[in-house]
Structure 1
Amino acid sequence: MQQNRILNYIKNVLKNKPSDWVKLTTHRLDIYNESLAKTQFLEYFENLFSDNNYEVSALENLPTAYDYIRLGHPLSCVLEWTIAKLNNLDAESVISFDSKTVPVLSILRKNLLDGKATTIYYSEVIPEAFKTDVFKTVYGYNFEVKKVESISDISKNASTSVFISNSNTIKDFNLNINIDILINSYGNYGSILLINGKENKDFISEIQHVRRRETVAMTPLNCLEVLEAVSSSETIEERQINIQTEKQSVLESLKKITYTSAEPLVASSGLSMQYAIMMGLIDDAQHNYPNKPIRFLVPPNCYGGTNDQARRVAACLDNVEILDLPVDGENDMVKSVDNVLEQVAKIDGVPFIIAEIPTNPRVEVPNLDDLKTALKKKRTTKNGETAIDSVFILDQTFCPNVNFLGENKVLSEVRALSYSSGSKFPSGGLCTAGYCVVNNKAEALQNKIAKHLGLCDNEATVQQYQILAKQLPSMLQRIDNAYKYTREFVNFIKEKLPEAKINFVSEELASHGFTPSVFSLDLPTKGETPEEKENYKRELNHKLINLMITEIPDESKYCVSYGQLKGCYWTIPATSTQGTTKEGDKDYIARVALSGNMDLEKHKAVFQQFVNSI
């Protein structure tokens, strides 16, 4: 009886679901409480279920499930809640993935750091992408793989027992008491992981963090189709959809935009792409420079996902370390690159540089000629031998229109690659897919990156390719439109609040193609002591943002997003994008991102209100 009630309720929810649940990467940011992400959504959803309320208005007023679709979204939460209800589990014990192999890797990572053994069982076929030798040698994981006739043949042992199933049923999971974690794979829909027993609860946050940083949740469209199958008591059948035309369109657009000739790679998210880049480069270094120390040079205040993921990778491998690369504010990227590359040369290490240009959040561009010289410089080890040349990994999300890798450009003469988050300008906020391109000198590395993108089953989905094929052709024009609005808004702020410090590109840099539509605002402050001044400024940040999102709720949002098709996005990096950054490296300033489709005059008027109030 209870099962029928659940299934009937979900059927009605799917009929009345808000369109944003499927179409956007963010939902109801105006009622988003970061500390209660997902738990608040499910708490309210549970109340609706208790009241059998599936009205459109009630569903539309549910709070944001997560601030970003990569970690989860309304439909992934509903799917996980439904499966948990049907299997008498807590909702937090069910975690959906777009990938079929990363769920396994998330368990292996935790057990590696905990020094615990893992045994992976399967009765049919293990995911094709799961390559035991690579996950042991390149990723550093320790585990056994065993085939059994059925799940009932597994007995309890000291290691963590993981069972991989390929069942096409979604409603009832065969949970053997001797299994710690069960993973069901569903072809190109993704996979669903179930954590069995209270003694395994400590896996939850670690698995969630892997989903947040190295892959994505099952996508909204796939969740919707799986939920429809669940509510109709149908099995999940593998989809056969030919998207070769859309995929080829995406690849050709990317080559044209980035002035590259090698085949681009497209991943399920920007961080999925970065993970493939990091593991591909480590694989290459292990092969070409065995036993040499590997060093990733990373700005300590860069985007939190980049910073966190890099350190998470290094934590798993003894010969991989992170070196801080100070790049903005009082620091100069060129000097930092030169200094840190000298350090790596002295230990005969393999240097990989990850950097954003313009920098985030201070939107600075280094002297590109000097950067080129620093990267091309021949260095020697302490024994006088030629040092290994670096690979420059450029996060180009802020300015994906700038030609860095083409012939005779700043990064054309060194091994370099560029990657961008597709949730920004490439898709305009309609999907999370990210992409990577390489210059001619780094073309050999693309094969290794492609290998690890495949191993992690993190290639862009069918729908993501379809969205990018539609959106990429208009990207350069959207960037141009958004920059013009941003420049106008920046000039307005300078006029109305001249004592504020604005971090934005100069007119000269813009004439060379650096036309971001994001700037950071260091508001004026007052007080007797440094502490009083800092506290006053932080309060002023919140006052400004709250005024904007309250007065213009249809357009101004409190979100880290950027490059959307419409509206304006506000955030404080220290409490959002730099969430996992060391406290001393955080930026307590306001960051503003504009689109080319918004009521700029209204935003000016509200900003004037703010100025008048202080």
Structure 2
Amino acid sequence: MQDHKVQTYIKDILNQVPTDWLKLTTHRLDIYNESLAKTEFLEQLEVLYQNHTADHSELVKLPTAYDYIRLGHPLSSVLEWGIAHKHGIKPEQVISFSSQTMPVFAVLRSNKLQDKTTQILYTEDLPDFFDAETLKRVYGYSFELKQVKSSDDIPEFEGSTLFISQEHQVGQAELNPGIDFHVNVYPKLGSILIVNGNKNEAYVSDIQHVRRRESIAMTPADSFEALQRFVDIKASVELKASRASNLEKVIKVVQDITLAASDVLLGSCGLSVQYAIMMGLIDDAKTNHPGKRIKIIVPPNCYGGTNDQARRVVEAVDGVDIMDLPVDQDNDMVQSTAQVLDQTAREDAVPYIIAEIPTNPRVEVPNLEELTAALRKPRQNPEGQDAIPPVFILDQTFCPNVHFLSKEGMFSDIRTISYVSGSKFPSGGRCTAGYCVANEKADDLMPSIQKHFQLCDNEATDLQVEILADQLPSMNQRIEEAYKNTREFVNFIRKELPEAKINFVPDEVVEQGFTPSVFSLDLPTTGETDEERETYKRDLNHKLITMMISRIPESKHCVSYGQLKGSYWTIPATSTQGTTKEEDKDYIARVSISPDLDLERHKTVFSDFVKQL
């Protein structure tokens, strides 16, 4: 009876579903409560359910669910909530993935860190891309694979038992007490993992963290179809064209934009792209430089997802270390790069450098000629042999239109891979899919990276490819228009509040082709002590952001960048840098400006803010 009641309610939701739930990667950022994003949506949904209310007017009022679509979104949350009701378990025990394999790898990762083995049971054939040899050799996962007749045929095992089912019915699962984790695989949609039993609840946050950092939740469109199948409604989401034709268009546009001749690899989000790059390069190093330590070199205060994922890889993969690359504030990227590469040469290690240009959040561009000189400088190991040259992994999200990878580019003789988060300018916030390309020097690394895209089943979905095919052709024009708006707003702030410190690209950097539409703002402060001054500044940050968002409907809370409309405001230290060490955090305001916004209204509100100081 309860099952039928929930299914009827979900049918009502599907009939009234807000457009933003399907069309955006973020929802209700005007009421974004980050600390409550994991719980607030479902708590209020449950209230609506108990009141038998599924009106569109009530659904649109529900707050943000998770962040972007990596950790989740409204429709994936409803899907998990519905399946949890069906089985009488907590919603957090049901975790959807766009990938068919990443929930399995999430359990394997947790068990490796616990020195615990896993038996993976399955009834039908495993996906072709499930590569057990690579999982053991590169990732270091320990597991046994066994084919069984059904979920009732569970052999005893000292460790975790994970059962993979290809049951067509969404939400169907026989929760045998002998099964710790039940994974239903749905080709084209992804998978749904159920954490079975109270004894395994400690795994939930770790599995969700994998979804947030190395993969994504089942996408909005696919969650919508999964919900339709869950309540026995015919699927209604249709693609405009085939994946092949959309992919061909995306590849051509990306190659035209980047002037890179390599393959173009598309991932489900920017971080899944970065994960494939890292694991592909680690695989290459273990193959071509066996026994040598691998060094992942990353700025300690860069975007939290990049930093966190790099450290998570180091934590979980044998033979890999982290090295800090200080780049912002009083640090110089060129000097830091030279120092870390001298160190890796002394240790005869394999260096992989991840960096953003411009840096985030302080929007700084290093001296590129000096940086390339530091990267290409010949070095020797302790035996006097040539040290292994670095691979430069460039997060180009803030400047996807700059030609770092062309034949004539200054990085042309350095092994360089570039990647971009698609939720930013490539899609204008309409999907999360990202892409990566390589220059000629690094082109030989792309097959290994593609192998790990496929192994993790983290490639872009058909709809994501369709959206990129639609949005990418206008990207450079949107970048130009957004930069003009940003430059005008920055110049206005400088006149209105000259005491504020603004981090934005200077004219000489713009002449090099860097035209970002994001800047950071260090507001003036006062007080007798450092602590008083810092507290005052932080309060002022919040006051400014609150004024902007409350008085301008198109202004929102977010770390977003490259959106089609409006402005986005955040404090990196409490959002993007959530997992960054406290001493490396930036308690400043970061602002992103779109190509389409009411700039005069923004100026008026900022002037009112200044009058209150």
* TM-score band, normalised by shorter chain: over 0.9
Q: Could you tell me how far 1:46 is from its partner in structure 2?
A: 0.7
Partner of 1:338: 338
Q: Identity over the aligned pairs, expressed in percent? A: 59
SS at match of 1:540: helix
Q: Flag the 1:175–1:233 CA change in 2: closer, same or farther, 3 A.
A: farther
1:160 equivalent in structure 2: 160
Q: Is the 8 A contact 2:154 2:178 kept in 1?
A: yes
Letter in 1 for 2:595: G
What is the deviation of 1:241?
A: 7.5
Partner of 1:602: 601
Unaligned runs of 5+ in 1: none
Distance 1:582 1:162 in 2: 35
Give the deviation of 1:318 after TM superposition: 2.9
Cα separation, 2, equivalents of 1:175 and 1:233: 25
> 1:518 maps to what in 2?
518
Pairs within 5 Å for 1:302-321: 302-321=302-321
Partner amino acid, structure 1, of 2:315: A
Give the TM-score normalised by structure 2.
0.98
Cα drift, residue 155 of structure 1: 3.7
2:451 maps to what in 1?
451
User: d(CA) in 2 for partners of 1:540 and 1:354?
Assistant: 33
Q: Distance between the aligned counterparts of 2:237 and 2:53, measured in 1?
A: 31
Q: Does the Cα contact within 8 Å between 2:98 and 2:189 map onto a contact in 1?
A: yes
Q: 1:543 to 1:300 in 2, by over 3 A?
A: same
Q: 1:542-596 CA deviation, whole Å, 9 max, x = no partner? A: 01000100111x2110100000000000000000000000000000000000001
- 1:565 maps to 2:564: yes
TM-score (ref. length: structure 1): 0.98
8 Å Cα contact 2:415-2:439 kept in structure 1: yes
2:123–2:165: 8 Å Cα contact kept in structure 1? Answer: yes
Moved more, 151-160 or 412-421: 151-160
Once the two structures are superposed, the pairs formed by residues 58-77 of structure 1 within 5 Å of their partners are: 58-77=58-77
1:587-598 → structure 2 map (5 Å cutoff) = 587-598=586-597
| CA distance in 1: counterparts of 2:325 and 2:245, whole angstroms | 41
Paired residue secondary structure (1:352): strand
Q: How is 1:79-118 mapped onto 2 (pairs within 5 angstroms)? A: 79-118=79-118
**Matching residue's letter, 1:252:** K
Partner of 1:495: 495
- Cα offsets for 1:222-278 (capped at 9, x unmatched): 000111111127799999983211110001100000001111100000000000000
CA contact (8 A) 2:99 2:190 kept: yes
The answer as to whether partners of 1:268 and 1:434 remain within 8 angstroms in 2 is yes
Please name the residue that 2:610 is paired with.
611
Q: Which residue of 2 aligns with 1:579?
A: 578
Q: Which amino acid aligns with 1:364?
A: E
Distance between the aligned counterparts of 1:318 and 1:145, measured in 2?
22
Q: Note closer, same or farther for the CA distance 1:154–1:239 as it changes in structure 2 (3 Å cut).
A: farther
8 Å contact from structure 1 (residues 169, 235) kept in 2:
no
| Structure 1 CA distance for aligned equivalents of residues 360 and 224 of structure 2 | 35
Residues 144 and 236 (structure 1), Cα distance of their counterparts in 2 relative to 1, 3 Å cut: farther
Alpha-carbon distance, 1:317 to partner: 2.2
Amino acid across the alignment from 2:119 = T
**Separation in 2 of the partners of 1:242 and 1:115?**
44
Q: Deviations for 1:114-166, whole angstroms, at most 9, x for unmatched residues?
A: 11111100111112221101000001111111111111110443210000000
Aligned in 2, Cα 1:138/1:171: closer, same or farther, shift over 3 Å?
closer
Partners of 1:170 and 1:69 in 2: CA distance: 20
Distance in structure 2 (CA, Å) of the matches to 1:72 and 1:156: 34
Identify the range of structure 1 (61-70 vs 593-602) with the bigger mean alpha-carbon deviation. 61-70
CA distance in 2, matches of 1:236, 1:128: 28
Residue 556 in structure 1 maps to residue 555 in structure 2:
yes
Q: Deviations over 1:52-72 (max 9, x none)?
A: 101111101011111322110
Q: Partner of 1:398 in structure 2?
A: 398
- What is the number of equivalent residue pairs in this alignment? 613
1:159-558 pair list within 5 angstroms: 159-232=159-232, 242-552=242-552, 554-558=553-557
Moved runs in structure 1, 4+ residues, more than 6 A? 233-241
Q: Is the 8 Å Cα contact of residues 226 and 236 (structure 1) preserved in structure 2?
A: no
Separation in structure 2 between the aligned mates of residue 99 and residue 282 of structure 1, nearest angstrom: 21
2:188 aligned counterpart, secondary structure: helix
Q: 1:240 to 1:591 in 2, by over 3 A?
A: closer
Q: What amino acid does structure 2 have at the position aligned with 1:374?
A: A
SS of residue in 2 equivalent to 1:152: coil
2-side partners of 1:424 and 1:241: how far apart? 23
Aligned-partner Cα distance in 1 for 2:171–2:164: 16
Aligned amino acid, residue 93 of structure 1: Q
SS at match of 1:513: coil
Task: Tell me if structure 2 keeps the 8 A contact 1:156–1:179.
Answer: no
**Stretches of structure 2 lacking an aligned partner (at least 5 in a row):** none
SS in 2 for 1:285: helix
